[in-house]
């Protein structure tokens, strides 16, 4: 009699434990290694907010495909490359299925290499250097609008406006401020435009009088000036350019998508710049912004919130596509074959793009100190200059 009771109790225990075990199997773990402190925090934190919103929405709706609840494991890498490697190892030891890496190339490479060895797909939510996936290997994906993609959209626009000669203003201090204008130059030349000149600056130099004089002296005078400069260089440059009486149109990149630029007044009027999306009425981005405000009780501080949201949507789509398999190789292959995934900023395509996605680039014009929508462009993959 005693024996039977014992067996029964064991069976009961097993029955009680079983559903919990099954539930544990039905979670997907996503590791987020990013900066909570230091220089990268202003990029990684909005990204994380977007990620959290997407995770919350999906989990409330019953999980990915109605099955997999998402468990988010976050770690602070303090904007240090070495810590990025340590934290990545930590989240991998917790058996994450997918890893999200920090907003810069070095720490993303450090994280990606460890994940690559462990065959865990890694997505860099907001690092924009297009060479990143190539450096790390076939488990590394980019997410954000790559520099060469943005540059191509700007080149389309320049060509459509009928500009013949363009001048690029670049700084060799960071890959972003250097390569983006160079990609633009390539794409613009491919479309039949000419580069009238290249002018260099030093980040943080304040005084642009030498550069402005150079631009004045270039013959034939350029029809358009393109730059990837941002604060505090862009405001200083545009003020000095306009006060020197040069009225040439200026194209910028998403680095100047900030309240500072809008607040520059008369000098910034008419400046056109690219970014990851414009929340026109009824668009998915407008909906995202509304959801964001409802969830966090504040407006999104940067477009990285939306692109962070996108990453989770990409992972969701990949798991749906691969028939609910959670192993690294399956997810990897599934992401690599995604086409036209609906995300907050529009659509994303990885298929045939070597893990640097094709996505919408929005062009905005500053009118009366307000951001107005010009158009959304999804460049043709063949027009995008190769990453270097």
Contact footprint for other proteins (CB under 8 A)? 36-38, 74, 76, 78-82, 85-87, 89-90, 93, 105-106, 109-110, 113, 129, 131, 135, 172-175, 178
Measured from the CB atom, the residue of 17 and 82 that comes closer to other proteins is 82
- Helices 304-321, 41-60: axis angle to 10 degrees equals 40
Nearer to other proteins, 199 or 250 (CB): 199
Shorter beta-carbon distance to other proteins: residue 174 or 337: 174
Closest approach, Cβ 174 to other proteins, in A, equals 5
Q: Which is nearer to other proteins, 43 or 157 (CB)?
A: 43
Give me the least distance between CB of 169 and other proteins, in Å please. 16
Residue 55 token pair: 């995770």
For residue 223, the minimal CB distance to other proteins (Å) is: 29
If the CB atoms of residues 36 and 296 are measured against other proteins, the closer one turns out to be 36
Q: How far is the CB of 201 from other proteins (least distance, A)?
A: 14
Instruction: Please enumerate in sequence order all residues whose Cβ is within 8 A of that of 317, keeping only pairs 6 or more positions apart, or say none.
Output: 338, 341
* Residue 181 CB, nearest approach to other proteins (Å): 14
Q: Which is nearer to other proteins, 107 or 193 (CB)?
A: 107
Helices (H), 163-258: 175-190, 209-217, 233-243
Phi and psi (nearest 5°) for 259? Answer: -55, -30
End-to-end CA distance of the chain: 77
> Rounded to the nearest whole angstrom, what is the least distance from the CB of residue 95 to other proteins in the complex?
12
Q: Identify the CA nearest to 341 among candidates 112, 88, 61, 123.
A: 123
CB-based contacts of 356-359 (< 8 A; 24+ apart in sequence) = 356/130, 356/132, 356/133, 356/141, 356/142, 356/146, 356/149, 356/387, 357/141, 357/142, 357/143, 357/146, 358/149, 359/145, 359/149, 359/276
Burial class (CB in 10 A: 0-12, 13-18, 19+), 185: buried
User: In whole angstroms, how close is the CB of 109 to other proteins at the nearest point?
Assistant: 4
Angle between helices 147-160 and 175-190 (to 10 degrees): 40
Comparison of 35 and 317: residue with beta carbon closer to other proteins:
35
């Amino acid at each position: 009699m005693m024996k039977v009771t014992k067996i029964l109790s064991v069976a009961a225990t097993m029955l009680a434990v079983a559903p919990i075990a099954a539930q544990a199997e039905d979670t997907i773990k996503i590791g987020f290694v990013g900066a909570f402190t230091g220089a990268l925090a202003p990029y990684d934190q909005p990204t994380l907010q977007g990620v959290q919103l997407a995770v919350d929405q999906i989990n409330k709706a019953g999980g990915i495909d109605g099955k997999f609840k998402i468990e988010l494991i976050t770690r602070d890498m303090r904007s240090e490359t070495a810590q990025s490697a340590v934290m990545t190892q930590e989240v991998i030891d917790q058996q994450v299925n997918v890893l999200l890496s920090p907003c810069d190339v070095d720490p993303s490479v450090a994280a990606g290499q460890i994940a690559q060895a462990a065959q865990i797909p890694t997505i860099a939510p907001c690092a924009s250097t297009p060479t990143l996936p190539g450096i790390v290997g076939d488990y590394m994906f980019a997410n954000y609008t790559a520099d060469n993609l943005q540059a191509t959209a700007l080149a389309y626009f320049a060509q459509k406006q009928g500009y013949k000669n363009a001048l690029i203003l670049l700084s060799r201090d960071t890959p972003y401020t250097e390569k983006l204008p160079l990609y633009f130059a390539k794409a613009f030349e491919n479309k039949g435009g000419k580069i009238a000149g290249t002018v260099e600056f030093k980040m943080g130099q304040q005084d642009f009088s030498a550069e402005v004089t150079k631009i004045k002296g270039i013959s034939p005078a350029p029809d358009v000036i393109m730059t990837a400069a941002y604060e505090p260089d862009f405001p200083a440059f545009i003020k000095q350019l306009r006060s020197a009486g040069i009225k040439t149109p200026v194209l910028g990149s998403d680095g100047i998508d900030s309240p500072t630029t809008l607040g520059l007044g008369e000098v910034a009027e008419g400046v056109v710049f690219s970014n990851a999306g414009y929340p026109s009425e009824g668009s998915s981005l407008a909906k995202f912004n509304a959801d964001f405000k409802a969830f966090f009780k504040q407006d999104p501080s940067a477009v990285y919130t939306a692109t962070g949201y996108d990453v989770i949507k990409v992972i969701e789509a990949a798991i749906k596509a691969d028939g609910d398999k959670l192993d690294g190789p399956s997810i990897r292959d599934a992401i690599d074959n995604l086409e036209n995934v609906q995300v907050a900023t529009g659509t994303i395509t990885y298929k045939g793009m070597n893990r640097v996605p094709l996505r919408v680039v929005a062009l905005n014009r500053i009118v009366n100190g307000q951001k107005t929508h010009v158009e959304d462009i999804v460049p043709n993959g063949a027009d995008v200059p190769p990453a270097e």
